[in-house]
Every structure is written in C-alpha cells, then in structure tokens.
Structure 1
C-alpha cells in the first residue's frame, strides 16, 4: 500500500499545469544527493482511492493535474491511482515522477499525461540542466510519448 507524507500545489513539476503534488513515502531508490530523503521511510497516511479523491476535492478549484511524486516501491498502485483520477475526476491530467531510469512495465502509459524518469544526480543537475540524466515525457494524442526535457533547460 502506498503512503504519502504531504501534498502541495506546485507550478513547475509538469509543464503548463497547476499540480497537486503528492509526496509518496517508501522510496527504494535512495539516490545520492536526494533532496527528499524524508520520503525514504515507509511512513505517513495511506493513499487510497478515497483519500486521493478527498485531496483532489480540497484543491479542485485550483488544480489541473495530479502528480505522484514517487511510488517506485509499488508502481502498479501508482498506476491504479492514476486510472482512478482519470475515471473519477475527468478533466484532470496525471503525472508521475519516478526515480527509475525507465517506466515500469506495471504502468500503463495511457494513464499518464506526463512521466518524469531518472534519479537526481547532483553532478548532472535537474531538468533545468542540459547535462541532466532525467527526462520529462509528455503523452501525444496518439498515445506515444515525446521527450520534452529541453524545454526546461536554462537558456
């Protein structure tokens, strides 16, 4: 079962979206230089469909997207929750930030509008660096993904 520590309304995680970012605990990646070490422990509140709907309802007038920040310990659960968002909260987009280098085969790309892949490696920088190993993928209307990482690079 997924657990979350907190949420926030953010403007930069997924392009052109006002996102309810849900910080999921129990991260197994333990990336060197991680800025969210507090998410390594498996603690917090259960992230059920009911809990997710309550979080969305509380922010409904503000958000355009729900972002799952983590969840690498149970990608199938992240996928189920993204599917729930699409079916029960039409009009909202979904995004996922995975610290893995590839999208899990347990995840249906059709359930996500955006997927950010890749661990944060301090010496390569985040999405705003042309040297980054991270990638921001956006789903096209035909269901394939395009890499839009360069859009984030500082000019």
Structure 2
C-alpha cells in the first residue's frame, strides 16, 4: 500500500515529476471513484462520476454527473472505460487539482453509461425489427 491510500504502487516506473508514486507530488484531501471518459489530453484524463440528488418536491432521486480533469501518470497506463480512483492534490494547472492513483475493481455502477452503447447483436436485432415493421407497413398499404 502506498500514499496512505488503499491502492497498490504500480509495477512500471516513470520519470514524471507529478507522479505521486515516483515523483514529488503529494496527495491530500479526499478521494473519488469514477470512470475514465477521455484520455485525449497529454498525461491527463477526464473522470466522470454519477451520483443521486434528492428532489423533495417529487419525492424522487435524480441522477447527476460530474466530470473531473485529473493528471494521469504514465506508469498507470489507463484507458477509457476503466474505473479509477483519483485523489486531491495541489493545483497542477487551471483545471487540474486531482491525480489518478490507481484502478479499482468494483461491481458498483460508477456512471458513464453513455460509453457502453448497444452491442452489435442488439443493434442487429433492432435493425431487423425496424426492417420487418417497414415491410409490414408497405404490404399493408398496398392491400
């Protein structure tokens, strides 16, 4: 266990000064679990978490999403769709004040449902249903 958090130190090493494992960056404050939705930026990732907010007027819960930019050290090699844990740090840039500290194994739904669209089998089944209904409509219109 490293950093005082419940995460393991990665086996790979890096020379990133903003790596909490191999550099001088210290972590502080809270941790957040979420799903990586973007890794397009250099050494950065956008982590999205989904949470419920109570709506007293309707006595229901409403889902909200929050996206947090975080520094992604090279030694972790994270990809889009992976559940990760991020920890708060000093400000690294205008928007980044968190760093990815590791992947997590979880059965919880952390959000980012839009990443996993329908499977190919589901898409093919839906297309065949649409084609059948169009064919029935055409046959019914001519008769």
TM-score band by shorter chain is under 0.3
Instruction: Select the structure that is richer in helix.
Output: 1
TM-score, with length taken from structure 1 = 0.22
Instruction: Select the structure that is richer in strand.
Output: 2
The one of the two structures with greater contact order (alpha-carbon pairs below 8 A, sep at least 6) is: 2
Larger of the two Rg values belongs to structure:
2
TM-score, with length taken from structure 2 = 0.24
